[in-house]
Amino acid sequence: METTSLLDFRKRFPNVRTGREVLAMDFPPQEWLIEDFLPLGSAILAGPPKLGKSYFVLSLIKQISEQNHEVFYYAGEDDARRIQKRMTELGIDSNGIFLHLGRDAPLTANGNKPIDMMKEMVDMRPKIKAIFIDHMTLILPRKSNPKHYDDFVHELKPWSDLADNYNLSIFMVHHTRKENNEADHNPFNSILGSQGIMASFNTVMIMRKASDGNGAVLSVTGKDVEEKEYRLIRQEVSWKIDGLEIEASLGDTQQKVLSHLKAFPGKNRSQLKEDLNLDGSYLTKIIQKLCIKGLVQDKDGCLFPT
């Protein structure tokens, strides 16, 4: 069979591009609402009840509004009194935050379709850069039978398209299953419902209690974010990111060795043993663990923090 010319092929399939054409495309840098943490696009935060997800969401809203962006927040299970209390506790005072409170009026009041309402809102207020929905199930169609992968993908796609078409972030809050061994191994398996949920978002965040009882852990992954785990520490009313979980979960002596190497990189084992007054075999085990965790590198017998 004779090969069709590239020109005729392109006329027949105008939306198909060659690999070389894609490589030659010029795109602006990735736009972030919170640097290296929350890019534009669709995002979901899942976690167990009563862990403080709503306070954490409000703290993100505060950061975004302080960058002179407008934000819409649908607090589906809250009333004005509760939100006022939380905003006061967090020091939030901005005309650029628009709220719809589910306890005062459902989002579907007056026959509104949530997705259509959001489109109209961002058309009228183009400075809106983020839409927060707490929680996700309140804006999706109800179904008597359990939803499957295709159901969630179909229902969530319009929201992802809205985020892409309007160049904003749509951030939804959801729940996780009860803890199990599988979830401990991979926290992203703990999202309540089908894996179609995770597949439908650009950025996925899972919040859970820290295994050592000190605060919480936030696991983040996505198409544009580097997969990381952060340790969250409780403030007076909310959560604050306090570095990477891999460091926060270290034991006291491991922390001591890592901190010393950060202050004095390039030390060898003998120097560390003398500086920290540690048993040699014990120090070797600690260094091995730090190397396995990717926190320390051994370069020709000299140790460096990564």
Residue 241 pLDDT exceeds 60: yes
Residue 258 pLDDT exceeds 50: yes
Q: Residues 187-206: what's their mean pLDDT? A: 89
The whole-number pLDDT of residue 294 equals 85
Query: Which spans in the chain are helix H?
Result: 6-12, 19-24, 53-65, 80-90, 114-124, 149-166, 181-185, 196-199, 245-248, 252-263, 269-276, 280-292
The whole-number pLDDT of residue 25 equals 93
CATH of domain 252-305: 1.10.10.10
Residue 50 pLDDT exceeds 80: yes
Q: What pLDDT, in 10s, does the model give residues 94-125?
A: 889 999 998 888 777 667 789 999 999 999 99
The whole-number pLDDT of residue 179 equals 63
Residue 183 pLDDT exceeds 50: no
The whole-number pLDDT of residue 185 equals 67
Selection from 124, 130, 135 nearest residue 63 by Cα: 130
Position 45: which residue type?
L
Q: Looking at the chain, which residues constitute the CATH 1.10.10.10 domain(s)? A: 252-305
Residue 181 pLDDT exceeds 60: no
Top-confidence residue, 294 or 183: 294
The whole-number pLDDT of residue 193 equals 82
Report how far residue 75's alpha carbon sits from residue 107's, in angstroms, rounded to the nearest whole number. Answer: 10
This prediction's pTM: 0.83
Q: How far is CA 259 from CA 213, 230, 241, 243, 276, in A?
A: 22, 18, 19, 14, 11
- For residues 272 and 301, the answer to whether their CB atoms sit within 8 Å is no
Q: What pLDDT, in 10s, does the model give residues 128-171?
A: 999 999 999 988 888 878 888 999 999 999 999 999 999 999 99
Q: Looking at the chain, which residues constitute the CATH 3.40.50.300 domain(s)? A: 32-246
Nearest 5 degrees, angle CA 113-CA 86-CA 138?
A: 20
Mean pLDDT of the chain: 89
Q: What percent of the chain has pLDDT over 70?
A: 97
* pLDDT-derived band at 281, boundaries 50, 70, 90: confident
Report how far residue 287's alpha carbon sits from residue 47's, in angstroms, rounded to the nearest whole number. Answer: 34
Residue 7 pLDDT exceeds 90: no
Residues 6+ apart with CB under 8 A from 98: 70, 71, 72, 73, 121, 125, 128
The whole-number pLDDT of residue 105 equals 83
Report the side by side order of strands in the sheet with 216-222.
97-101, 70-75, 128-134, 169-175, 41-47, 203-209, 216-222, 228-234, 239-244
Highest mean pLDDT among 34-38, 39-43, 151-155, 197-201: 39-43
Residue 201 pLDDT exceeds 90: yes
Selection from 129, 108, 100, 90 nearest residue 240 by Cα: 90
Top-confidence residue, 57 or 141: 57
Residue 182 pLDDT exceeds 60: no
Residue 184 pLDDT exceeds 70: no
Report how far residue 166's alpha carbon sits from residue 130's, in angstroms, rounded to the nearest whole number. Answer: 10
- Largest separation between any pair of C-alpha atoms in the chain: 78
Report how far residue 60's alpha carbon sits from residue 65's, in angstroms, rounded to the nearest whole number. Answer: 9
Residue recorded with tokens 């803890």: 179
Report how far residue 42's alpha carbon sits from residue 161's, in angstroms, rounded to the nearest whole number. Answer: 9
Q: What pLDDT, in 10s, does the model give residues 204-229?
A: 999 999 988 889 999 999 999 999 99
Sign of the torsion angle spanned by Cα atoms 209, 211, 216, 217: negative
3-state class of 96 per DSSP? Answer: coil
Q: Which CATH number fits domain 32-246: 3.40.50.300, 3.90.650.10, 3.30.360.10, 3.30.470.10?
A: 3.40.50.300
Q: What are phi and psi of 133, to 5 degrees?
A: -125, 115
